[in-house]
Amino acid sequence: MSLLPLVGSKTQVPLLDGTTTTYANLDVAASAPALQSVADRVAEVLPWYASVHRGAGYLSQVSTALYEESRATIGAYVGAREDDVTVITRNTTDSVNLLAGCVPGRVLVLDIEHHANLVPWRRVEAGVTVVAGRDTLAGTIDALAGELARDSFALVAITGASNVTGEALPVGEIVTLAHAHGARVLVDGAQLLAHRHFSLAATGADYVAFSGHKLYAPYGAGALAGRRDWLDVGTPYLAGGGAVDDVEVGETTWQPAPARHEGGSPNVIGAAALAVACTTLGGLPAADLDRHEASLRGRLVAGLSALDGVEVIRLWPDSDEPVGVVTFTVDGIEPGHVAAYLSAEHGLGVRDGRFCAQPLLKRLGLTAGAVRASIGIGTSLADVDRLVAGVRSLLAGHVRGDYVLIDGAWTLAEDPRPLVGPAGLTRLADTAGSCGATVG
């Protein structure tokens, strides 16, 4: 049973055998469906939509108030301190790139990170150091400590929860360690915030970056929240209207944050959607969410582990309380083939490939990638059991379709399923994106 109402929870999809079934979305770690409260709020505010920060008209005043109240709500959701600032961005990648233009020194990261928390730091003029994770969580933290003792860093950027395995780093411990060496901490909250309540003030972390589309608010907004000083003087992320204080030919005076980094017309609808998602999720008791995820994740891991030829991937034997992300491999069958089969013959949506974490997958020896199932507030026991049954059926050779590799993605050689998507859609996609595909 869903913990909260979601849009599309009863969507029917066609199967290869000619029947239909309710779609089981086990790919919420990539993008989560919209909360019903979010969709309702967007419908409510759309008639009031107008320019933000740019008009004296009544609707412009309403939209500006909505945007700024949404900012405050989003900041409160992540425990922003009184002197912190919340910048509305597009997503986590946008947020990290923004901060990368403001860091006044070297950055330290682990190789377990999503590309969004690896690639942008190459923009930092002072440079970035990437530390390879160790075989244990304790050893990994020791490696960070050793690097902090050897060199001077302005920022340590860590994931709140791995998008590959769901395992979480001890944020408070790493914050204490980094601060002792004069470094600040950014938490990539993309995978954490939909599963755990998080607070900048409580953890002592300096910044957190996150995405609305992973928080059940897929309307194009994310956020970066944290210490104001770097953001007030850092290079404006997007030069243009709204970010400026005064413009002369050849010279520009910039606003302080957050306006400094919000050039162009703000995404007021996205901000409002993210704000109501924060309010809705914030009202969900943490114990209820933890119980829901722990039960389903435990059942899924146990079910998959019981199948001969299936391996559930972990980073560290000494980590605990992972979020609802489970990644596995099937002996002798490529991950993309597994995912295509589960979709076409069981109505299951999972992720395959290297999950935009290629350095980690390579270090783990998973050069062909893996399969990832992710659990959210709408996942049921039936969804989990259906996935385990689907993998069992695949291993037993109960396969109807002819699956082929085209442009790096597994798909049906011939797909007889009718197109039942939204009006105006003429065909299904037949290739995966490069970040998810094995070739990416």
**DSSP conformational letter for 122:** G
* CA dist list (Å): 286 to 113, 186, 281: 26, 23, 9
- Give the containing element (helix H, strand E) for 130: strand 128-131
Q: Which is it for the CA torsion 129, 133, 134, 139, positive or negative?
A: positive
β-bridge mates for residue 192, sequence order: none
Q: State the maximum Cα–Cα separation within the chain, in Å, rounded to a whole number.
A: 71
Kind and range of the H or E run holding 44:
helix 36-45
Q: Which of 102, 278, 356, 435 is catalytic?
A: 356
Q: Which residue in the block uniquely carries the two structure tokens 């944050």?
A: 257
For residue 243, the model assigns a pLDDT of 67
Amino acid identity of 191?
Answer: Q
Q: What are phi and psi of 422, to 5 degrees?
A: -65, 155
Catalytic, 356? Answer yes
d(CA 131, CA 417): 47
Cβ 206 vs Cβ 227: under 8 Å: yes
**Dihedral angle computed from the Cα positions of residues 325, 331, 334 and 340, in that order, rounded to the nearest 10 degrees:** -60
User: Nearest-CA neighbor of 96 among 79, 114, 73?
Assistant: 114
Residue 116 in contact with residue 95, Cβ under 8 Å? Answer: no
**DSSP code per residue over 240-272:** STTSEEEEETTEEEEPPTTGGG--SS--HHHHH
What are the tokens at 280?
């809705």
Tokens of 184: 């600040």
What is the reported pLDDT for 431?
56
What is the chain's pLDDT, residue by residue, as a tens digit (440 residues)? 789 999 999 999 999 999 999 999 999 999 999 999 999 999 999 999 999 998 889 999 999 999 999 999 999 999 999 999 999 999 999 999 999 999 999 999 999 999 999 999 998 999 999 999 999 999 999 999 999 999 999 999 999 999 999 999 999 999 999 999 999 999 999 999 999 999 999 999 999 999 999 999 999 999 999 999 999 999 898 877 676 667 677 777 788 889 999 988 999 999 999 999 999 999 999 999 999 999 999 999 999 999 999 999 999 999 988 999 999 999 999 999 999 999 999 999 999 999 999 999 999 999 999 999 999 999 999 999 999 999 999 999 999 999 999 988 899 999 999 888 888 887 777 655 556 554 33
The C-alpha atoms of residue 419 and residue 284 are separated, in whole angstroms, by 37
Task: Give the pair of three-digit tokens for residue 323.
Answer: 């979020």
Distance CA 145, CA 110 (A): 12
Angle between the N-to-C axes of helices 335-346 and 381-395, in degrees from 0 to 180, rounded to the nearest 10: 120
Q: For residue 148, what is the enclosing H or E element?
A: helix 137-150
Looking at the chain, the number of H-run helices and the number of E-run strands are 12, 19
Task: Please give the Cα distance from 440 to 212 (Å, whole number).
Answer: 24
Nearest to 409 by CA among 347, 351, 345, 332: 351
268-282 vs 36-45: helix crossing angle, rounded to 10: 140
Q: What spatial distance separates the first Cα and last Cα of the chain, rounded to whole Å?
A: 35
